[in-house]
Amino acid sequence: MATPGSTTEEITARTCCAPANDAALDDSRSQHLAQVFKALGDPARVKLFSLIVASADGEMCVCDLTEPVGLSQSTVSHHMKLLVEAGLVTREQRGRWAYYRTVDGAVEKAARSVLTV
Amino acid sequence: MATPGSTTEEITARTCCAPANDAALDDSRSQHLAQVFKALGDPARVKLFSLIVASADGEMCVCDLTEPVGLSQSTVSHHMKLLVEAGLVTREQRGRWAYYRTVDGAVEKAARSVLTV
């Protein structure tokens, strides 16, 4: 903790233990976390993600994701791209179809990161 | 689990245990969850939320939130409004200033909801 009389330099050097008001996540970290949460910040993507979580073998073909969400394959693929880019889902092309799996612990890790700064 | 031969009515009545491919969150639930995640889908809001989490007494005045994120008070208030509307933060007006607290368990609950459909 900074004490009364600390110089600016001293406070800066103690970033690891700064008072709560200086404890904001840095730009890089907050941008990454925002990307993860934004990826889930859409009802269709929430559904798509939860469908894969709930799937019997933890994997779903894009061909099986369109009907439950009532969207075209190109729209589903766009949503899935954002989930992949956020690190929440992996994509594997097998023949004609793309298959998706959720990344273990990714949601929990993001949640923990904003709760334990 | 629905068994072969189940009627549509029976399957509907068993939403809790439907097969994986029918396990999409319903519209209302997925919209709510998307609102929660979208509220955190912005770097400034991630920072603001984490600042309150990390604050010494679990509460921060809007007057102390502007400097750490480098934004005007009106911009901070706008971001905070979205966090409040998503149920992640509560707001209390005391005299001139608004004070914010995070809602215990709100982030964890949203994370769990997409992980255990």
Each residue of A19-44: pLDDT tens digit?
444 567 899 999 999 999 999 999 99
What sign has the CA pseudo-torsion B53, B55, B56, B61? negative
Q: Inspect the interface and report whether the beta carbons of A21 and B55 lie closer than 8 Å.
A: yes
pLDDT score at B25: 86
What ipTM score was computed for the predicted complex, to two decimals? 0.81
- Full set of structural domains in chain B with CATH: 26-115 (1.10.10.10)
pLDDT score at B23: 63
Distance from C-alpha of B76 to C-alpha of A117, rounded to nearest angstrom: 20
Distance from C-alpha of A17 to C-alpha of B16, rounded to nearest angstrom: 46
Distance from C-alpha of A28 to C-alpha of B101, rounded to nearest angstrom: 25
Each residue of B37-88: pLDDT tens digit?
999 999 999 999 999 999 989 999 999 999 999 999 999 999 999 999 999 9
Choose the closest CB to B47 out of A20, A30, A38.
A30
Q: Which residues of A are less than 8 Å from B71 in CB distance?
A: none
| Low-confidence stretches of chain A (pLDDT beneath 70) | 1-23, 117
Taking residues B12-30, what's their average pLDDT?
59
